[in-house]
Amino acid sequence: MRLEGKTAIVTGSGSGFGAGIAHTLAREGAAVIVNDVNEVGGNRVAAEITNAGGRAVFVAADVTNADAVRGMVDRAVETFGGLDILVNNAGVSHKRKPMLDVTEDELDRILAVNVKGLFHTGNAAIPAMRNGGGGAIINIASTGAVRPRPGLTWYNATKGAVTTLTKSMAVELADDGIRVNAVNPVAGDTPLLATFLGEDTPENREAFRQTVPLGRLSTPEDVANAVLFLASDDAALITGVCLEVDGGRCI
């Protein structure tokens, strides 16, 4: 087991990629705080992990709320004795559409979750990681940060912020022994997919699939395996990297 003795928080892990990440980190020995605003999904994932013999606690917290995020980090430290790994996975998007049709409310929401959420989790988690002598932060960005395409302009911009933040945090936190990396997944079959495709039809899926050299969409397991590597000591000298998990789409 590659994460024995570690404690991890995975935001937005009641569904999709986050659920896969929480399962994988727990399988590798980490005690996991499953976080989400979706209580049904969060409780389900935490129960699945404990039923499989792992350690997990669900904490309902909105990453846009500083007090709630601070409470979640306190809970991790109180329950499991520290915090070693933070996966900033919670994210939302506007529906695929021309940039001039995105409303100010939609923009405020995606900035609040996708960007300001990292402000709150960083403020709460970094002091706890410093107390423990270091840690690993993994941000889930997107191929849209690197190779943006029309229709998701403002979502892509939030993910561009995440990759720049990843590199900036990596240099700022290196002296603390905190490594900061990102994963850039290509479109995956999660509840967010319909938002990205505009309409989730077999034709739209097939058209997208053909843009991926390895010929398929990503899975929660693909993303989770990259997160596991970046969280583990196998990546001890890796920081500031934004790793595409995209079947070659960004080439």
Ligand X SMILES: NC(=O)c1ccc[n+]([C@@H]2O[C@H](COP(=O)([O-])OP(=O)(O)OC[C@H]3O[C@@H](n4cnc5c(N)ncnc54)[C@H](O)[C@@H]3O)[C@@H](O)[C@H]2O)c1
Interface with ligand X (CB under 6 A)? 11-12, 14-18, 35-38, 41, 62-64, 89-92, 113, 140, 142, 185, 187-188, 190-193, 196
By beta-carbon proximity to ligand X, the closer residue of 9 and 31 is 9
Supply the minimum distance, in Å, between the C-beta of residue 180 and ligand X. 16
Supply the minimum distance, in Å, between the C-beta of residue 204 and ligand X. 13
Instruction: Give me the phi and psi of 210, to 5 degrees please.
Output: -70, -15
By beta-carbon proximity to ligand X, the closer residue of 218 and 232 is 218
What's the sign of the alpha-carbon dihedral 57, 36, 137, 222? positive
155 is catalytic: yes
Supply the minimum distance, in Å, between the C-beta of residue 237 and ligand X. 26
Supply the minimum distance, in Å, between the C-beta of residue 196 and ligand X. 5
By beta-carbon proximity to ligand X, the closer residue of 176 and 189 is 189
By beta-carbon proximity to ligand X, the closer residue of 11 and 163 is 11
User: Residue 187 and residue 200: Cα distance in Å, rounded?
Assistant: 12
From 155, 165, 220, 232, the catalytic residue? 155
By beta-carbon proximity to ligand X, the closer residue of 16 and 135 is 16
What's the sign of the alpha-carbon dihedral 137, 143, 145, 147? positive
Supply the minimum distance, in Å, between the C-beta of residue 7 and ligand X. 18
Give the sheet arrangement for strand 85-88, strand by strand: 55-60, 31-36, 7-10, 85-88, 135-140, 178-185, 242-245
By beta-carbon proximity to ligand X, the closer residue of 29 and 151 is 151
Question: Counting beta carbons within 10 angstroms of the beta carbon of residue 192, is it exposed (0 to 12), middle (13 to 18) or buried (19 or more)?
Answer: middle
- Annotated catalytic residues are 155
